[in-house]
Amino acid sequence: MQNENPTKATELMQKAVPMMLKLDIAPTPYNYGIWYEYVSNRNQKLNQIMDGTLRKLGNLPGYLSRELFHEFLLPDEFQEGYTQKNKLKSIVTHVESSSKNMSNGLDELSAVLTKSQKILKRADKNEHLEKVIHYLEQGALSASQKANQFNQSLSQVQEELAQLKVEFEDIKKHIEIDELTQLHNKKGLERYLYKWLPDAEDDVSIILLDIDDLGLINDQFGKRAGTGLIRYIAQLIKSFKLEKAIMARFEGGTFAILLNEAPLDFTHSFAELLRQKVSEQKIRYKQSKIHMPQVTVSLGIATILGQEGPNDLLERARDNLQHAKQSGKNRTSDR
């Protein structure tokens, strides 16, 4: 953001804040910065991205606000968290430098050859020929050395890029994967939700599943038993191997399954199948070898309606999950 005089800054904030409130934008530094810049109309590219996102989603996801902030507002010298970006810049600079060095070497060799040809046309003694041959050998050796250096640089760059890719994947996994179950976490699922929703008609659905009476199981068998049960349910969910589906654990014993190209009737049938499968399981606690009482789950499902946004879809699924709980548990609700 550019430095503004107090009057101008106040004027811009008076425009930005009402828009944030209307769209229920969280009052974070990222969002304040992005919306302040948006109402200033200084950056057309930023405004185009935000306008397009608002048209499609009706909101601006938090992760997108952070990315836009770093891309458009944060000076390079302050991007401490973007170590990988700096590494990538270093690699590109290294390749560019090596490429120029090799190009210079080839230019030098070309100059040597041109000069040698001129000398050969006038050469009339053996000593002249020996000097030309020596001159050519030195030029070829220099060019060969620079070519070898370039090849070595390319090999080094390939290794560095491969390592950088691994680091990116590790960071992504750390941010979006639930450590206990190795399913996606809420943030990971929401990324796919925002990705799929703009192109959806009535075929993006979500299932929220919650283990019934998990607190009682923890009290009776201990928290380790509850943790083991959460892992067990996660494995059971993964065993269905659904296509075009993202499976996640939100918190505690609550899971979510996001289904792309899945209308309500399919989603309801699958949710019922999952509920019945869980209720049929005979689960034994490893520590005591004692079978737990029947484990059941309650499920709330929702399918996108019209221009509904991600938060609205999730809220309807939560309401339906709550309805299933209040109706006696071990139920599926899609009111």
Q: What are the average pLDDT values for consecutive 10-residue runs of the chain, which has 335 residues?
A: 61 81 80 86 88 83 79 54 53 53 60 61 60 65 64 61 62 75 91 84 92 92 90 94 92 95 92 95 72 90 88 94 96 92
Q: Beta 297-303 vs 332-333: how paired, if at all?
A: parallel
- What is the pLDDT at residue 82? 46
Domain boundaries, the chain: 6-74, 83-176, 186-333
Side by side, which strands form the sheet with 245-251? 245-251, 254-260, 204-211, 297-303, 332-333
Radius of gyration of the chain (CA): 31
Per residue in 157-183, pLDDT (tens digit) is: 566 656 656 665 665 656 788 889 999
Tokens describing residue 284: 């034994």
- What is the pLDDT at residue 77? 38
What 3-state class would DSSP assign to 284? strand
- What is the pLDDT at residue 292? 80
Q: Which helix (H) or strand (E) holds 314?
A: helix 310-326
The three-state (H, E, C) secondary structure of 30-68, written as one string: HHHHHHHHHHHCCCHHHHHHHHHHHHHHCCCCHHHHHHH
> Which of 98, 87, 97 is closest to 159 using CA atoms?
87
User: From the CB of residue 119, how many other CB atoms can be counted at a distance below 10 Å?
Assistant: 14
Sequence-ordered strand ranges (E) for the chain: 204-211, 245-251, 254-260, 297-303, 332-333
- What is the pLDDT at residue 112? 61
Q: Which helix (H) or strand (E) holds 19?
A: helix 6-22
User: From the CB of residue 310, how many other CB atoms can be counted at a distance below 10 Å?
Assistant: 19
Tokens describing residue 196: 């799929």
User: From the CB of residue 71, how many other CB atoms can be counted at a distance below 10 Å?
Assistant: 12
Q: State the average pLDDT for the chain.
A: 78
Tokens describing residue 168: 């990116």
Provide the CATH topology of domain 186-333: Alpha-Beta Plaits (3.30.70)
Q: How far apart are CA 177 and CA 42, in angstroms?
A: 37
Per residue in 211-239, pLDDT (tens digit) is: 999 999 999 888 888 999 999 999 999 99
Cα 302 versus chain centre, distance: 25
Q: Which amino acid is at 173?
A: K
Sign of the torsion formed by the C-alpha atoms of 115, 116, 117 and 123: positive
> Which of 229, 197, 209 is closest to 271 using CA atoms?
209
- What is the pLDDT at residue 273? 95
